[in-house]
Structure 1
Amino acid sequence: MSSVSIKNVRDGSQDGRVKTWKTPWMAQREKMSEGARASDPGAHAGNAAKTAKARVRAELGRRRRLMIAPLGFAALTALLLGLHQGRLLEFIYPAGALVVTALLFRRSPAHYLSFVLWLFFLTPEVRRLADYFNGAFSDRSLIMLAPVMAAAFCGVNLLTHFRVLMQRRAIPLTLIVLSMLYGYFIGMVGAGIAAASYVLISWLFPVLIGFHVLVTWRHYPEYHRVLLKTFVFGGFLIALYGVIQYVNPPAWDAFWLAHCGMTSEGVAAPFSMRVSSTMNSSGPFALAMMVCLLMTLAARNKMALLAGGLAVPALIGTMSRSVAGGLAIGLLYLFIMLDTRSRLRLAAGIAVIVLLCSPALMVDEISEKATARFSTVTQLDNDYSYQVRTEIYRHFLSEMTTNIAGRGLGMTGIGSKLSDDGSSNNVDFDSGLMEVPYVLGWPGLVLYTAGVLTLVLRAFVTSFARKNDRFAVAGTAAAFAVLAMMVFVNTLVGAGGVFFFIGVILPVAGRRYALEMQSRSEMKLKAQKDMTAAEGHAPAPAGTAAQLSIARPSPLVP
């Protein structure tokens, strides 16, 4: 008979378990199957190997499918630029970026964050190309909204994970958000809704990025793989373009520099333009290049060394002394935190990078200007920017003691141009340490400082306990370097803020994932030990090799 009705009946055993009634044919087939597995363990292992290979192929296929939308978006952008459709691109680019963002946000948190970083890397250059092919410089371009909208999209997590805001792991971010809301309400009164809202977005979306990483900690292995590739290949691309720009500026960069009015960026001539690469100016590029260089030190491939070799001359071309100080702090942190073996590898990597970039330092046009620029560190009396910054500190220290409530968001920077009372009462700060208390006042300063310091302390303790996770340690080093530059400019907003909050949240996410994997591995090993004791097979590892490598706890972890 071809089919048998199977019923669950209770046998007469004392344990009262429910067994399934089987026909003699089915029982004999099961017995033969069990005997074959017991007599031929190699076949069982072969089936397991085939299953593992199938899973690897499925994962590779998933990764390829995730790249379809970003590559299609890049191809469409290149096509419109090739057709000189800059006006149309101003609408297509932000809309297309938002569509790709929505797709990646739903499918892969790590690829979503990688796409956001690529937008910050390349969007200003797309805007320059669009203006150049249009033949007209645009003071306000819709293209520049793409990275901000993509980063702010992760605010959806506040709706789906709002309960996490009250958990201990998210309290620092909650304090920072409360301080910003306080400054926003003060700013609406002083500067107006438009100015306060504009500045709030630039202050808030880096915090949202940090919250995104925090609530998606289970994807930490994918963050480790995807973000490390993003920093390596992204750093290589923008560093290479920066070197080309310094040696022979392209026509669209010369067009941009001639119309943007930033005289501090030099002139569009060989060896006369401060390197801004694909970004708006040398400052944001130097900050991004510093973070990419620190993160590439966590990679172990030839591309990372090549990217580092290009990053050093590109950084020198920016003539940014603040970034040089931040890079020194980040490297020092890496040397202190890593174990002896990793220190030797780091030292060897830095030595190779220096050798790769040494030919560029032998060019007189590069070495002479760099020497003249950085020599002013020891000649502060003749340093105009130092004198201006000293005057800022002297003036606003008295302002802080008299204005307890703060001026509010929208009273400084670009957002002040949108204020209701014009720009007569608004200021541009050359110091992040002074801007935060000036804007947020004493109430907001207490909340903001408490949140930032808690994040930094937690990242330090976590990375110290897990020195084997070089990726998390490098992220913390980059965050410390970004924070140290607050003396010169507010680096915790915009792209700099994105780098900072990613850096301080990654160690926390990594440790939480490691503890989860360790607990799960112990449970599975215990269950498999009981199941395989009779067959005599070794229990299979609970997780892939990459997962176990990342989750391997340090001896310092309690």
Structure 2
Amino acid sequence: MVYKSVISTTSSFEEENLEKQPVLAWLAIGALILFSIAGIASGAGSLFRPGYVLLSFAVGAFLYLRYPIMYIGFAWWSWFVTPLLSRMIDLRAGFDDTRFILVAPFAVSLITLHGCLKYLPRAYREGGLPFALGLLGLFYGFLVGLIHTSPINAVRSLLDWLTPVSFSLYLFTNWRNYPKYRDNFQRVFLWAVLLTGIYGVIQYLVAPEWDRFWLISTKLGSMGEPEPLKIRVWSTMASPGPFAVMMMSGLLLLFNTRSPLGIPAAAVGYLSFLLSMVRVMWGCWLFAVISMFTSIRPKMQMRLIISALIIGMCVVPLSTMEPFGDVITDRLESFTNLERDNSAQVRQKIYEDGLNAALSNVLGSGIGNTFVFDEKENRWISIVVDSGIIDTFITLGWLGAIPYVSGLFLLLIKVLQIEEIRFDPFIASSRAIGIGCVLGIPIFTIMIGLSGMFMWGFLAIALAGQKYYQQYYQQSYQEYYQQYYFQQTSQTPK
């Protein structure tokens, strides 16, 4: 009964927030939007790129200090939108090899490092040991990276590794805001699935000029050809992998929404998810749905089945009609013919060549030591290791991987023991998303960057929800017995 009262008293947060819109916050966000439109329209890349990073950080810092709930949503949207803006300004002002503008979402999300360091001792006492272990492993890897590579490369790669852990620790540390975070996540990802899904379908059908220019400039053949109907969809994000992780997460959260936008969002979301051609995340989504279904109450299971049937009625016809049907069917059939699948063979080769070297690397190569200088291109390029296990041990070595992996494993164990998933579908979805992401580690570097934000972030928000309910239950329990004791003593005859 106490748990039900928690849900009933917090279900109106979304309506309350909508009634009291923070004008200053929206003015700050609006200023960033206007600056982006003006910068891209003018083609002033040399001014727009650093200006966008600085203004994004300023808006993020303002929201972090004044409107912390809106800050969370702003941080997510910074990840979703910035790569698209980068491609647009590249088309207008020329391709930027440094990709400096992509620092913006890292700068916005790493604002949380202030609160994490400030409240780390308290977080440790409240169950934040997994995050402390993760930070310890990254600190070691960064020190090794400073020895083996340039400080610039070490710092740049540290952003990829550190940002997800910092952001997730911030969510856990502020577990008292869990109901507001829950509503914010649901609202953000509803719109994110809808808008990025629509753009993903358009990207596949039309191949916008800025996307074609970016594909030609980067020479990334793995993302398809710069022509309509030949692109692997990555929507507004930087590549198909992170987009697929985002879409998997958003689609799982859609099972909880009651918004009328849920069905159209799911339709375009699943279609663009399939057009991303990221089979790893298709499998992770399936395991996540099974995990979610088996952990909730029968009443919620029935609701999940009904939602799945309605979504299936919308998605199946879309995914089987042309021009989508053939490409999706061919990709699905590759599951049964991995011997002829080039992607599967490449991953097998990666494990054959890299696993022994990774596991025998005691000290590690260090964070940032996965960049090489391409003399032909005259720029630093990243060495892609398409395996989270190999990448972790190559980068951190055993000395860094032990605390980092232990922290992630301990966090996963804690989340698997959460009982509150029985009545809070958001915690059930968050746990399923975290499990799905962890399952992708062997064949996908999912711990870093935007993908890592989902893995660490949703495990953290699930743990924050558990902490919130346990604290509320304990407080209500104490208040009940205090009231009972007062009634008994007041009725005692003098």
Q: TM-score, normalised by structure 1?
A: 0.79
Partner of residue 142 from structure 2, selected from 156, 159, 184: 184
Q: For the residues of structure 2 that align with 1:111 and 1:286, how far apart are their CA atoms?
A: 24
1:98-177 equivalence runs, <5 A: 98-134=57-93, 136-164=94-122, 166-167=124-125, 169-177=127-135
Q: For the residues of structure 2 that align with 1:302 and 1:345, how far apart are their CA atoms?
A: 16
Specify the alignment match of 2:160 in structure 1. 202
Distance 1:112 1:527, change over 3 A: same
Q: For the residues of structure 2 that align with 1:417 and 1:178, how far apart are their CA atoms?
A: 29
Specify the alignment match of 2:414 in structure 1. 458
CA contact (8 A) 1:411 1:427 kept: no
Specify the alignment match of 2:31 in structure 1. 72
1:5-20 equivalence runs, <5 A: none
CA contact (8 A) 1:171 1:451 kept: yes
CA contact (8 A) 1:194 1:418 kept: no
Q: For the residues of structure 2 that align with 1:447 and 1:296, how far apart are their CA atoms?
A: 34
Q: Note the C-alpha offset of 1:528.
A: 7.8
Aligned: 1:369 with 2:327? yes
CA contact (8 A) 2:431 2:459 kept: yes
Amino acid at match of 1:225: D
Aligned sequence identity (%): 25
Q: Note the C-alpha offset of 1:185.
A: 1.8
Instruction: Render the CA deviation track for 1:326-350: whole Å, top value 9, x for unaligned.
Output: 1111111111111111111111112
Partner of residue 430 from structure 2, selected from 475, 485, 504: 475
Q: For the residues of structure 2 that align with 1:418 and 1:456, how far apart are their CA atoms?
A: 39
Amino acid at match of 1:241: Y
1:348-497 equivalence runs, <5 A: 348-412=306-370, 415-417=371-373, 427-462=383-418, 464-497=419-452
CA contact (8 A) 1:417 1:423 kept: yes
Distance 1:266 1:210, change over 3 A: same
Distance 1:371 1:147, change over 3 A: same
Specify the alignment match of 1:221 in structure 2. 179
Partner of residue 506 from structure 1, selected from 457, 461, 479: 461
Q: Note the C-alpha offset of 1:166.
A: 3.8
Q: For the residues of structure 2 that align with 1:529 and 1:220, how far apart are their CA atoms?
A: 29
Specify the alignment match of 1:30 in structure 2. none
Instruction: Render the CA deviation track for 1:433-470: whole Å, top value 9, x for unaligned.
Output: 111112211222221221001101111111x3432111
Distance 1:418 1:222, change over 3 A: farther
Q: Note the C-alpha offset of 1:424.
A: 12
Aligned: 1:255 with 2:237? no
Q: For the residues of structure 2 that align with 1:465 and 1:385, how far apart are their CA atoms?
A: 39
Aligned: 1:89 with 2:61? no
Q: For the residues of structure 1 that align with 2:56 and 2:150, how far apart are their CA atoms?
A: 30
Q: Note the C-alpha offset of 1:208.
A: 0.4
Distance 1:474 1:282, change over 3 A: same
Amino acid at match of 1:103: F
Distance 1:195 1:80, change over 3 A: closer
Aligned: 1:516 with 2:475? no
Distance 1:227 1:65, change over 3 A: farther
Aligned positions, number: 473
Structure 1 unaligned runs (5+)? 1-52, 534-558
Q: Note the C-alpha offset of 1:260.
A: 1.8
Structure 2 unaligned runs (5+)? 1-11, 489-494
CA RMSD of aligned residues (A): 2.7
CA contact (8 A) 1:195 1:418 kept: no
Amino acid at match of 2:410: T
Aligned: 1:285 with 2:240? no
Amino acid at match of 1:488: I
Q: Note the C-alpha offset of 1:141.
A: 3.4
Q: For the residues of structure 1 that align with 2:201 and 2:141, how far apart are their CA atoms?
A: 40
Distance 1:126 1:66, change over 3 A: same
Moved more, 515-524 or 324-333: 515-524
Q: Note the C-alpha offset of 1:189.
A: 2.0
Distance 1:73 1:324, change over 3 A: same
CA contact (8 A) 2:359 2:398 kept: no
Q: For the residues of structure 2 that align with 1:423 and 1:483, how far apart are their CA atoms?
A: 33
Q: For the residues of structure 1 that align with 2:339 and 2:199, how far apart are their CA atoms?
A: 35
Instruction: Render the CA deviation track for 1:124-158: whole Å, top value 9, x for unaligned.
Output: 11111112222x12122332111010011111013
Residue 371 of structure 1 aligns to a residue in which SS? helix
Amino acid at match of 1:176: G
Q: Note the C-alpha offset of 1:123.
A: 0.4
Amino acid at match of 1:202: D
Q: Note the C-alpha offset of 1:68.
A: 3.2
Specify the alignment match of 1:241 in structure 2. 199
Specify the alignment match of 2:492 in structure 1. none
Q: Note the C-alpha offset of 1:423.
A: 10
Distance 1:174 1:57, change over 3 A: closer
Amino acid at match of 1:68: L
Residue 422 of structure 2 aligns to a residue in which SS? coil
Amino acid at match of 1:157: G
Q: Note the C-alpha offset of 1:237.
A: 0.6
CA contact (8 A) 1:479 1:504 kept: yes
Amino acid at match of 1:298: N
Moved more, 223-232 or 431-440: 431-440
Q: For the residues of structure 1 that align with 2:382 and 2:232, how far apart are their CA atoms?
A: 28
Amino acid at match of 1:448: Y
1:516-555 equivalence runs, <5 A: 516-522=471-477
Higher relative contact order (CA 8 A, sep 6+): 2
Aligned: 1:275 with 2:233? yes
Q: For the residues of structure 2 that align with 1:300 and 1:244, how far apart are their CA atoms?
A: 26
Q: For the residues of structure 2 that align with 1:240 and 1:60, how far apart are their CA atoms?
A: 28
Q: For the residues of structure 2 that align with 1:304 and 1:344, how far apart are their CA atoms?
A: 18
Distance 1:379 1:466, change over 3 A: closer
Q: For the residues of structure 2 that align with 1:70 and 1:152, how far apart are their CA atoms?
A: 18
Distance 1:416 1:465, change over 3 A: farther
